[in-house]
Amino acid sequence: MKFAVLSFPGSNCEKDSFYALKDVIAEEVSLVSYQAESLAGFDAVVVPGGFSYGDYLRSGALARFAPIIPALKEFAAAGKPVLGICNGFQILTEAGLLPGTLQKNIGGKFVCRQQKLVVKNAASPFSTRYQAGQVITLPIAHGDGNYYADEKTLQELEENGQIIFKYQDNPNGSLKNIAGITNKTGNVLGMMPHPERAVEEILGSADGVQLFQSLIAHFEVAAHE
């Protein structure tokens, strides 16, 4: 499976994702510049965390106009997997690939800590190696992680099983304790916690490994259908 990890001006987590995929998950991976205009040849895309364009205007608002975004939208529309982590989640909402938005944390403070999550949907392409209701630990590091959507959207997310992860102890004020959601077709996941920073026990948790393993297993099954 060949992964593309996007890199925007201000990104600072792209190498975390690159080395997690290359050295721990042992998959083929390439860094792809925001200036690229094609994602041909890739099987999955990671939109990493950081502070794209310095978070000017609001997080992810400028990155949505980068040259790579039309290709990312085509990639997602083709049903291929896209994973947006932290700032990547914010970019996906700004680009219209996921519903809702990420606002300032309640209290206005940046939060950086290990965070317990509850797996709400273990049937998505990103979560089959977990169990429904399982509590996992992933690190968070964000100032704009407060997920907001209108009541109709929140109801649809619940009814469609689009909420994949919830916070066990809400650190930012996200409605419904939402930590990660997918689009309706399930191939685009945005999440504020960092699975790429939780791939070895020495990092404090290896609970992020199963997310990448789930995605790879889903790809392998789809490739043989």
Q: Which of 13, 14, 142, 196 is catalytic?
A: 196
Q: Which of 86, 94, 142, 218 is catalytic?
A: 86
Judge whether 112 counts as a catalytic residue: no
CATH code, residues 2-223: 3.40.50.880
At 18 the pLDDT is: 98
At 220 the pLDDT is: 86
Q: Is pTM, for the whole model, over 0.95?
A: yes
Q: Give 125's strand partners.
A: none
pLDDT tens profile 95-115: 999 999 999 999 899 999 999
Judge whether 194 counts as a catalytic residue: yes
- Taking 80 as the threshold, does the pLDDT of residue 145 lie above it? yes
Instruction: Find the distance separating the first CA and the last CA of the chain, reported in whole Å.
Output: 16
Residue 50: strand, helix, or coil:
strand
Q: Is 6:75 a contact under the CB 8 Å cutoff?
A: no
- Report the pLDDT averaged over residues 142-147: 98
- Ranges assigned E (strand) in 89-151: 101-103, 111-119, 135-142, 146-148
Domain boundaries, the chain: 2-223
pLDDT tens profile 17-69: 999 999 999 999 999 999 999 999 999 999 999 999 999 889 999 999 999 99
Structure tokens at 213: 């393993």
Q: Which of 13, 14, 142, 194 is catalytic?
A: 194
Judge whether 142 counts as a catalytic residue: no
| pLDDT bracket for residue 222 (50, 70, 90) | confident
- Report the pLDDT averaged over residues 178-189: 98
At 67 the pLDDT is: 98
